[in-house]
């Protein structure tokens, strides 16, 4: 499980959903677009809920690991829709600088 920090709210959701949301936000930002999405989430009482958010170029999202891994949810359809929507943008993919060795100076590359 992961939490998405958005404005002053904390959204508890599955790893794949949180990752898809932040990737979609990056794609929207690169395309100067915005969208509203209903994120499948777990409410404070442990029940399933959805949290609707507006994400776009100025969204500031933080995704963090959560302790509640036993509540991991299956949300393949939601994740697939976000990934497909992100792929519709004609701009370049997000850089993911923290995962690219080719961006390191030559003397620091593995």
The answer to whether 2 touches 65, Cβ cutoff 8 Å, is yes
Q: How confident is the model at residue 57 (pLDDT cuts 50, 70, 90)?
A: confident
67-83: average pLDDT? 78
pLDDT tens by residue, 8-41: 999 999 999 999 999 899 888 887 889 999 999 9
pLDDT at 89: 73
* Burial letters 21-38, b for 16+ CB under 10 A, else e: bbbbbbbbbbeeeeeebe
Q: How confident is the model at residue 100 (pLDDT cuts 50, 70, 90)?
A: low
The answer to whether 15 touches 72, Cβ cutoff 8 Å, is yes
Q: What pTM was computed for the model?
A: 0.77
Q: Cα(72)–Cα(63) distance, rounded to whole angstroms? A: 15
């Amino acid at each position: 499980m992961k939490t998405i920090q958005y404005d002053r709210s904390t959204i508890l959701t599955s790893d794949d959903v949180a990752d898809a949301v932040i990737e979609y936000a990056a794609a929207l930002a690169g395309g100067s677009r915005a969208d509203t999405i209903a994120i499948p989430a777990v409410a404070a009482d442990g029940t399933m809920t959805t949290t609707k958010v507006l994400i776009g170029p100025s969204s500031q999202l933080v995704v963090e690991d959560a302790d509640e891994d036993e509540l991991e949810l299956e949300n393949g359809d939601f994740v697939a829709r976000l990934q497909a929507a992100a792929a519709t943008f004609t701009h370049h993919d997000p850089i993911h600088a923290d995962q690219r060795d080719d961006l390191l100076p030559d003397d620091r590359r593995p």
